[in-house]
Amino acid sequence: MRMIQLKGGGQLPALGLGTWKSAPGEVATAVREALRVGYRHIDCAPIYGNEAEIGGALADAIADGDVTRDELWITSKLWCDRHAEKDVVPALQQTLKDLRLERLDLFLVHWPVALKKGKQMAERAKDFIALDRLPIAKTWKGMEAAHAAGHARHIGVSNFSAKKLRELCSVASVQPAMNQVELHPYLAQVDLLGTCRELGVAVTAYSPLGSQDRPPVLRAEGERNLLLDPLVTEIAESLGVTPAQVLIAWALQRGTAVIPKSVNPARLEENFAAAKVELGPIDMQRLGSLDAGRRYVTGEFWTTPGSPYTLANLWDE
């Protein structure tokens, strides 16, 4: 398994398991199956609503001797309503309790968006807090406190633009080790990857398969299905692999970590086997030509009427 080296000394298995949209009732079985197949990196977040069930699966797997804690890499994230400096450590402690862990390997600021405490999403304009009132630099102090207390071996961010990442790096005492962003051939984010490389920030690709199981409110009419893209399927056929394996191999060969989600045993195995798929330089280049700056997770849900957030100031594009 390819490993991704992080600032701060640790390294994570490049291919991990995504758990966004893995429903309670099915995620425990999926995690156990993933561990059996060989996954050692699990990506979690409290907003996914399934950390307690994942924690049960991890505890059972460790108790049954399938895996040791030291072999695992567990990432989780800080939800937007806990951005106040003093709220960060308690939020992480709740996640640790749910995941039944003493510490995380990686803890990320989930979005550069702040909400009033207790709000999972904004129902009205006053549920938002603008970043000039609660800046990321303040939230980061809480992240650094979590790191200093030993609750998280590494800290990082998610959904950060190059601009926000640079700003954070310029004020951080503990540098962010990771930026987890949406990445796939329709959204190759070449410039952002360059900035991350320059800053020494590793990158994790989320929604690498195009997240076709997103809830209907997060789907656009007529959006293209990456898994059915003619070039992706053509390359898959030519190599005797599946489209999902092409997409995962593409992410790995770009030097990013990648966290395809599945709750299906056959697909968990298929996705894990993608670590052995090799794409030649021409196929990598052809896949690169699909870049259209097209997000599946557009962030529009942060831009409801009266919100201080716009797509322009969210992505800095």
Positions marked active-site: 48
Q: Closest CB to ligand A2P among 269 and 316?
A: 269
Rounded to the nearest 5°, which phi and psi values hold at 145?
-65, -40
* Closest to 250 in 3D by CA, of 222, 210, 219, 213: 210
Report if residue 304 touches ligand A2P, rule: CB under 6 A. Answer: no
Choices 192-200, 231-239, 259-267, 297-305; region in contact with ligand A2P by CB under 6 A: 259-267
* Closest to 72 in 3D by CA, of 20, 23, 32, 28: 32
Terminal C-alpha separation, the chain: 35
Tokens of 124: 């009205």
Among 29, 94, 175, 212, indicate the residue that binds ligand A2P (CB under 6 A): 212
Report if residue 261 touches ligand A2P, rule: CB under 6 A. Answer: yes
Tokens of 91: 């939020």
> β-strands 128-129, 114-115: how paired?
antiparallel
Determine the Cα–Cα distance for residues 45 and 18; give it in Å rounded to an integer: 10
Least distance CB 142 / ligand A2P (angstroms): 28
Among 142, 185, 208, 299, indicate the residue that binds ligand A2P (CB under 6 A): 208
Q: Closest CB to ligand A2P among 37 and 134?
A: 37
Determine the Cα–Cα distance for residues 161 and 47; give it in Å rounded to an integer: 21
Least distance CB 210 / ligand A2P (angstroms): 5
Tell me, by CB under 6 A, how many residues bind ligand A2P: 19
Choices 45-53, 67-75, 87-95, 210-218; region in contact with ligand A2P by CB under 6 A: 210-218
Q: Which residues bind ligand A2P (CB under 6 A)?
A: 18, 207-213, 227, 242, 244, 260-264, 267, 270-271
